[in-house]
């Protein structure tokens, strides 16, 4: 064998072994731990907060934490994101042992803002975070979680622990996804007289951008507008029957986006899931109708979406007949 070939084989051999060691390191190390700060907040559950909290939890937490068997927020298997592993959301009822009854308000707020549990465990993107939500809205979520609503009544349901996929471990180990910094100052509510600002607030906080951009893996949750294919659609969801549904293009592009939609058509689609023409419904899940948003909020999203850059991206529409 010529000398150079022998060297080449040795170099390839070393590279293969190095790659194997690296993969083993990622697999064994798992998701890195961090240090969680202690935040002291005691949320006053006013009637206004409880009411707003119910809307926010219905739109933001119920999807992933509602358990059909108990009709409470006792968690379920999230089979729709197999790329991230075998994922189970947790029991977030007020049970002191099996739920979050013993967590302080500050601990829940810290997790929702940063992704870190009190012991420093980091919850990857399959647990939603709210880095952009106003302090007042976060307090409303806490008020609801602490309330006597049947959804959060103490329950002893336990699910198996999540086993993250190699992809999840890789993304976390490389710091591609990592905890968000805790906000340095109060986050004020959006100016509701400014439609673009209100629309952006809803589009960021109610996860529209997260599902409607190219891929969860390339989303920039801290600066959503920097996400790859921002609102251009194409993110995919595995359904229980094995089919794959893709999110649609919501940019103002006339052919492949919703550039030709009227405001009314948009409000109907978002709030009731019915498409223009009235004969077809959007698949739910993943596109759960946002009946809890006000018309004003959805119209504001429409106005905001008119302001995002057009993306030409034809996504196969997956219509279900009513």
SS3 142: helix
| CA dist list (Å): 221 to 196, 215, 240, 270 | 19, 12, 27, 22
Does residue 61 interact with ligand HEC by CB under 6 A?
yes
Binding of residue 270 to ligand HEC (CB under 6 A):
yes
Torsion angle defined by CA atoms of residues 170, 173, 174 and 178, in that order, rounded to the nearest 10 degrees: 110
Handedness of CA 209, 212, 217, 219 (dihedral sign): negative
Backbone angle region of 115, left / alpha / beta, with phi > 0 → left and psi within -120 to 50 → alpha? left
- 277's tokens: 């023409």
Residue 127 or 308: which CB sits closer to ligand HEC? 127
Stretch of 62-70, 165-173, 177-185, 218-226 contacting ligand HEC, by CB under 6 A: 62-70
Q: Which of 43, 66, 87, 198 binds ligand HEC (CB under 6 A)?
A: 87
What is the spatial distance between Cα 196 and Cα 213, in angstroms, rounded to a whole number? 19
Sign of the alpha-carbon dihedral angle for 187, 192, 196, 199? positive
Please choose, out of 8-16, 41-49, 107-115, 174-182, the segment that lies near ligand HEC by the rule CB under 6 A. Answer: 107-115
What is the closest distance, in whole angstroms, from the C-beta atom of residue 247 to ligand HEC in the complex? 4
Count of residues touching ligand HEC (by CB under 6 A): 45
Taking CB under 6 A as the criterion, the residue among 283, 292, 310, 313 binding ligand HEC is: 283
Q: Which residues of this protein are in contact with ligand HEC, per CB under 6 A?
A: 60-61, 63-65, 78, 87, 89-90, 92, 100, 108, 111-112, 117, 123, 126-128, 141, 162, 202, 206-208, 211-212, 237, 245, 247-248, 250, 258, 266, 269-270, 275, 282-283, 286-287, 290, 301, 317-318
């Amino acid at each position: 064998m010529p000398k150079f070939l022998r060297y080449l084989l040795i170099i390839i051999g070393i590279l293969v072994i190095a790659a194997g060691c690296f993969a083993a390191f990622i697999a064994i190390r798992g998701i890195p731990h961090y240090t969680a700060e202690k935040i002291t907040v005691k949320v006053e559950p006013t009637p206004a907060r409880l009411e707003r909290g119910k809307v926010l939890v219905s739109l933001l937490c119920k999807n992933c934490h509602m358990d059909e068997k108990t009709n409470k927020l006792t968690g379920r298997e999230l089979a729709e994101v197999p790329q991230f592993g075998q994922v189970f959301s947790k029991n977030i009822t007020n049970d002191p042992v099996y739920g979050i009854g013993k967590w302080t308000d500050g601990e829940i707020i810290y997790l929702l803002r940063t992704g870190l549990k009190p012991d420093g465990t980091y919850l990857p993107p399959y647990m939603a975070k709210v880095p952009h939500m106003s302090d007042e809205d976060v307090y409303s979520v806490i008020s609801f979680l602490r309330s006597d609503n049947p959804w959060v009544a103490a329950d002893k349901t336990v699910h198996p622990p999540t086993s993250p996929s190699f992809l999840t471990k890789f993304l976390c180990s490389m710091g591609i996804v990592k905890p968000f910094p805790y906000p340095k100052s109060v986050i004020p509510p959006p100016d509701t007289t400014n439609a673009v600002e209100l629309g952006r607030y809803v589009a960021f906080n109610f996860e529209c951008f997260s599902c409607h951009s190219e891929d969860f893996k390339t989303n920039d949750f801290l600066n959503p507008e920097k996400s790859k294919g921002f609102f251009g659609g194409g993110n995919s969801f595995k359904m229980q029957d094995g089919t794959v549904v893709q999110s649609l293009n919501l940019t103002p592009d006339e052919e492949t986006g919703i550039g030709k939609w009227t405001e009314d058509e948009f409000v109907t689609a978002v709030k009731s899931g019915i498409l223009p023409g009235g004969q077809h419904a959007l698949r739910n899940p993943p596109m759960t109708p946002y009946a809890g948003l006000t018309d004003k909020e959805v119209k504001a999203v429409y106005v905001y979406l008119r302001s995002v850059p057009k993306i030409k991206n034809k996504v196969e529409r997956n219509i279900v007949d009513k």
